[in-house]
Amino acid sequence: MGDITNTPGEMDALARSLEAGAAKLDGMRAAPIANAGESIGMLAQAVGQLAETSAGVSGGLHRTVEDIHAARDEYTRTDHDGANNMPQPPR
């Protein structure tokens, strides 16, 4: 494992920032579609693809947040136990 140069507080801040971004993506809904004639099908398809992409990005952000929390928790646990002579985070 390489040296960790972020403090647990910085890791928490990153996780909170990612969680906020994921929450915004999770809250996105398709806009009401006006009668656009023949282009309505293309517009509906584009909106559907955007929704799928947003869901994928949101899922990735949620997994990243979980990974950050897990890394922080593991670092805190092993550092507290003195395992592997892990360095103290910068203060």
Q: Report yes or no on 72 lying in a domain.
A: yes
Q: How many domains does the chain have?
A: 1
Question: For residues 84 and 1, is the Cβ–Cβ distance under 8 A?
Answer: yes
Helix crossing, 40-81 with 8-27: angle to 10°?
Answer: 160
Q: Report yes or no on 3 lying in a domain.
A: no
5's tokens: 């140069």
Query: Residue 46: its pLDDT value, please?
Result: 80
Q: Report yes or no on 46 lying in a domain.
A: yes
Q: Report yes or no on 34 lying in a domain.
A: no
Q: 3-state SS string over 27-64?
A: HCCCCCCCCCHHHHHHHHHHHHHHHHHHHHHHHHHHHH
pLDDT, one tens digit per residue, over 2-46 is 455 677 788 888 888 888 877 877 777 666 555 556 667 777 778
The Cα–Cα gap between 37 and 15 comes to: 44
Query: Residue 31: its pLDDT value, please?
Result: 60
62 is in which domain, residue-wise?
8-26+39-82
